[in-house]
Amino acid sequence: MINCTRCGEPKAHTEAECAALAAKGGPALPTGVCFPCAWKDPLLQPALREYAERKKAETIRRAREILARPLEFIDRLVDSLR
């Protein structure tokens, strides 16, 4: 973490962290800007909102799959612990 260029808080993301987020399908955040400052930026808000909605939908989908097939989930968990 580095200091944010906008607010000065020591919670901004490095270039590597921003690239890793973009590689996962996230928005391209500017280097040296913390997430709260990026969220306030009107140019970045649409991409951030879309990413947040997509991640929320993915989490809900996974939770529904787990609830629909609890025995398969338990089997996968047990297998991963072996």
What's the pLDDT band for 72 if we cut at 50, 70, 90?
Answer: confident
Q: Is the pTM of this model over 0.75?
A: no
% the chain with pLDDT above 90: 30
Between 61 and 68, name the one with better pLDDT: 61
DSSP state of 12: B
Element (H, E) at 21: helix 15-23
pLDDT for 25-61, tens place per residue?
888 888 889 889 999 999 999 999 999 999 999 999 9
Q: What is the Cα–Cα distance from 47 to 8, expressed in whole angstroms? A: 23
C-alpha dihedral (21, 40, 54, 25), degrees to nearest 10: -20
